Structure 1
Amino acid sequence: MRSRELGNLRAVLSSFFVCFFFLSFDEALAKQELKILKVGNLLNVETGTLTQNQEILIKGDQILNVGAVTDIGIIEKAEVINLSALTVLPGLIDVHVHLIGDSRIKGYRALADSIPKKTLFGASNAKKTLMAGFTTVRNVGSPGFADVALRDAIEEGVIDGPRMLVSGPSIGASGGHCDNNLLPPRFNNFSDGVADGPWKIREKVRQNIKYGANLIKFCATGGVLSKGTNLKMQQYAEEEMRALVEEAESRGRRVAAHAHGTKGIKTAIKSGAASIEHASFIDDEGIKLALERGTALVMDIYVSDYILEKGITLGFLPESINKERTVGRVQRANFQKAHKAGANIVFGSDAGVFPHGLNAKQFSYMVEFGMKPIEAIQAATLKAAELVGRADVGIIKAGLKADIIGTSVNPLEDISALENVNFVMKAGKVYRRE
């Protein structure tokens, strides 16, 4: 009898502990799901205003509410994160990065690295970028679809990194900026994206999309870092550009056009490119066209100083350094001109030419060359979100992704504060907290 009673007691106790365990487990899960950020200053990037002593309620990867949380049940279940000493704003977006590869090796030295090795560096670069406060990036150009693999690994939670939109290999003409011109003819070395003529270009667009590209990037003109290309020279005919854009858009993809030279910029805009990368020699007509067509200008005005300072040591080609001595100054002057005219300038740094994680250095240059701090921040939040087609990021608002960063110094007073973020959250998960 006692044995039966003891057995019953054990069963009851076992059931009790099982229930207690699962209740505790459910509470732990609830705390992981629900978070309340207690914010000292909240920056509204739409209006440019700061609001003090706000609360942001987050469930999973989504913002539920911005404002005071009064529900006692929610307060008891939520993890409370004290950010009262910080200015909080949306996670930053860089629309022009190259995560794949070792940013310390350039020119001929870079030929020795295999795509698997470049991809491993990409994993490290992705984490540095995220920890610097950039929660979304657009990767414009990558060998062997390594950027697709990196994007997927991040989305599957294998590694930490920003949300990625990727182009796969950049498409370009034989011998152009998107080709590899470093080796002599006997090596028969061509880059993945080389295509000439409208139908070959259409085929290349289809291949990129087949293997996972979110967007298409092509080279409309020569570039700084390519051997033997003229920055000002257009490399695709208008017929070719139109075929590329038409094919991409028919498959729901936007197009980014690398273009330094005046003619190439205007032809790319007329052909329907969503963004012009670099836009160094843009003239008044080009600015007017961009305004009329709603084309974004992605002007990487920090990188010039890095190339001129570190280029020789890192192995940049001498001709690349000589090109940069001219193009950097012109690009900054045209940045000022385009901004004054009201052009849609979006934040893109060209990180990968310089070390990843230093993307935010560009903000100070944008302010130096004419923008107000809030305009530079808008270029890297709501404007960038619009360009990459992500309506769920770029603003701190109920219903959007919980991509949130914080700085100890108000970036409206000192834009360089964005170079040293103290808090990083992407999709509701905290990655950095100091």
Structure 2
Amino acid sequence: MKRMMLGAAAAMAIAAGVTAWAQAPAAAPAEVVTYIQAGALLDKPGSRARGNSTIVVRGGKIAEVRDGFVGGEAGSKVVDLRDKYVLPGLIDMHVHLFSTGRPLESRLAASSQDNEDDAFEGMRNARRTLMAGFTTVRDLGSEGPAIIALRDTIASGDLPGPTIVPAARMVSVSGGHGDVNGYNRTLTKAYMAERDNVCDGADDCRRAVRRQVSHGAEVIKFAASGGVGSNVAGGLGRQMFDDEMKAIVDTARLFGRKVTAHAHGADGVKAALKAGVDSIEHGSYIDDEAIGMFKSGKAYFVPTMLAFQSVVEQAKRGERPVASANKAFEVEKIATKNISHAIKSGVRIAFGTDSGVGVHGINAREFKLMVDAGLPPAEAVKSATVNAADLLGRSAQIGTIEVGKDADIIAVTGDPVADVTRLQTVDFVMKRGTVHKLTGKQVLVD
């Protein structure tokens, strides 16, 4: 009896201890404080850079920006970038993280690879993108649940990668750029069974938008025109009717989503702008009327010049099917001239590469192509920071280095406004206060 009473008492004591432990508040993790000493600070791209400066980062946010080099407080970290040029993390408004940039290899492997393979490809590409200095990306066409899972895992801190703003799948009409194409009838039937992004008619296009939203899409993308990458000999002109485009835009607005349109042909560009999109991707055949519509409205132009370079090189190597290769050569003749004209005409530009058409991690090569097309270097840097943040609707969080914003910060050797190719080699990457890449010194202050 005594042993039973002792046992019961012990059990009660253990239970009480477990209950007390469960109810006790968890100890808050120590706030991480980092002092970044910058030799030059381009805190607001488009404006003049500051000289010697110190950025104080607390809990993933920018807490202070001080003039001169300031030493850290006890328990903080000091990152010595006194010989570097520091600026906000870059933003790429057009990527496809699950695409390899190797079209022939991907097409041959399509029947043997599965979502799990794509997941690991996405993880690798996300890391490459972050290490290249891009702390935020807009993924404009990936399997919905997969890109959402990657977004959330990166956001939790369990994987290195940029902040992802996903579109899920691109909404397309039957037979258009974004539909299943180029496979045998067995594979086509299998792939089409999973396609919830293809629509015909306004009502059906509303359904397709809602499906992408249900998958977690934060932005909606639709194919207003044909595309170079699809194996359809349908050209690059408009592929949607006015009511279909308007239905897509209106439905997206009901859910609080912004909308972008893939559009090469001038007719597709103008129809999408008329429907009320927030941005146009590619714009190969943009003309003066479309330029006027851009300038009288608020939409951004995302030229993706690196993608044009990639598809032409792939076509010349025989890595694209005939229909796709023919469109690549067609675009090569005219795109650079038209985009240059749009840039020089003062159209608002946001940075995007279409990485995934080409390989990931070389996103910054887009800067030189933009400058060569006539965009001033300072505006090129602004397009990947201030402008991109505005297009995302996230100017309060990213795009500049200001108090209260996310600590998304990079550094390069030399002035990137004087030479935009400096951005192709990034020495330091911080995303939301976590250092992911460091070439230099980091010291813990006692």
Question: What TM-score comes out, normalization by structure 1 length?
Answer: 0.89
- 1:237 shift after superposition: 0.3
**Other-structure match for 2:213:** 209
**Other-structure match for 1:350:** 354
RMSD: 2.0
**Other-structure match for 1:34:** 33
- 1:313 shift after superposition: 4.5
5+ residue gaps in structure 2?
A: 1-26, 440-446
- 1:162 shift after superposition: 0.1
User: Is 1:340 equivalent to 2:344 in the alignment?
Assistant: yes
5+ residue gaps in structure 1?
A: 1-24
- 1:118 shift after superposition: 1.3
**Other-structure match for 1:87:** 85
In the TM superposition, what are the counterparts of 1:17-416 in structure 2 within 5 Å?
29-30=30-31, 33-68=32-67, 75-106=73-104, 108-112=107-111, 113-185=113-185, 187-188=188-189, 189-190=191-192, 191-311=195-315, 313=317, 315-391=319-395, 392-416=397-421
CA contact (8 A) 1:385 1:393 kept: yes
- 1:60 shift after superposition: 1.2
How has the CA–CA distance of structure 1 residues 66 and 283 changed in structure 2, closer, same or farther, with 3 Å as cutoff?
same
- 1:328 shift after superposition: 3.0
- Alignment partners' CA distance in 1, 2:132 and 2:386: 18
Is the partner of 1:29 in helix, strand or coil?
A: coil
How has the CA–CA distance of structure 1 residues 231 and 48 changed in structure 2, closer, same or farther, with 3 Å as cutoff?
farther
- 1:219 shift after superposition: 0.4
CA contact (8 A) 2:96 2:354 kept: yes
- Alignment partners' CA distance in 2, 1:420 and 1:71: 27
Is the partner of 1:67 in helix, strand or coil?
A: strand
* Amino acid corresponding to residue 335 of structure 2 in structure 1: Q
Is the partner of 1:247 in helix, strand or coil?
A: helix
What whole-Å deviation, never above 9, does each CA across 1:1-51 have from its counterpart, x for those lacking one? Answer: xxxxxxxxxxxxxxxxxxxxxxxx99x934xx1111010011143443122
**Other-structure match for 1:9:** none
How has the CA–CA distance of structure 1 residues 359 and 70 changed in structure 2, closer, same or farther, with 3 Å as cutoff?
closer
- Alignment partners' CA distance in 1, 2:367 and 2:257: 28
- 1:52 shift after superposition: 1.4
More displaced, 407-416 or 379-388? 407-416
What whole-Å deviation, never above 9, does each CA across 1:244-290 have from its counterpart, x for those lacking one? Answer: 10000011001110000111110000001111110111110101111
- 1:220 shift after superposition: 0.5
Q: Which has the higher helix share?
A: 1
How has the CA–CA distance of structure 1 residues 423 and 314 changed in structure 2, closer, same or farther, with 3 Å as cutoff?
farther
Is the partner of 1:76 in helix, strand or coil?
A: coil
* Amino acid corresponding to residue 263 of structure 1 in structure 2: D
- 1:201 shift after superposition: 1.0
What whole-Å deviation, never above 9, does each CA across 1:70-128 have from its counterpart, x for those lacking one? Answer: 998x6234211100010000000000000013323436325223222112100100000
Could you tell me the percent identity over the aligned residues?
A: 37
- 1:321 shift after superposition: 2.2
- 1:318 shift after superposition: 2.7
More displaced, 153-162 or 183-192? 183-192
- Alignment partners' CA distance in 1, 2:316 and 2:343: 32
* Amino acid corresponding to residue 80 of structure 2 in structure 1: N
Is the partner of 2:42 in helix, strand or coil?
A: strand
CA contact (8 A) 2:45 2:385 kept: no
- 1:185 shift after superposition: 4.0
- Alignment partners' CA distance in 2, 1:194 and 1:172: 5
* Amino acid corresponding to residue 433 of structure 2 in structure 1: G
CA contact (8 A) 2:233 2:323 kept: no
Is the partner of 2:63 in helix, strand or coil?
A: strand
Aligned length: 406
Match among 419, 422, 428 for residue 417 of structure 1: 422
Is the partner of 1:289 in helix, strand or coil?
A: helix
- Alignment partners' CA distance in 2, 1:294 and 1:314: 40
Is the partner of 2:41 in helix, strand or coil?
A: strand
- Alignment partners' CA distance in 2, 1:291 and 1:150: 36
How has the CA–CA distance of structure 1 residues 109 and 313 changed in structure 2, closer, same or farther, with 3 Å as cutoff?
farther
How has the CA–CA distance of structure 1 residues 68 and 253 changed in structure 2, closer, same or farther, with 3 Å as cutoff?
same
How has the CA–CA distance of structure 1 residues 123 and 314 changed in structure 2, closer, same or farther, with 3 Å as cutoff?
farther
- Alignment partners' CA distance in 2, 1:109 and 1:287: 40
In the TM superposition, structure 1's runs of 4+ consecutive aligned residues that sit over 6 Å from their partners are 69-72
What whole-Å deviation, never above 9, does each CA across 1:289-336 have from its counterpart, x for those lacking one? Answer: 112121111101122222222345573213322211221342211222
- 1:394 shift after superposition: 0.5
Is the partner of 2:173 in helix, strand or coil?
A: coil
* Amino acid corresponding to residue 120 of structure 1 in structure 2: F
Question: What TM-score comes out, normalization by structure 2 length?
Answer: 0.87
CA contact (8 A) 1:115 1:144 kept: no
* Amino acid corresponding to residue 397 of structure 1 in structure 2: E
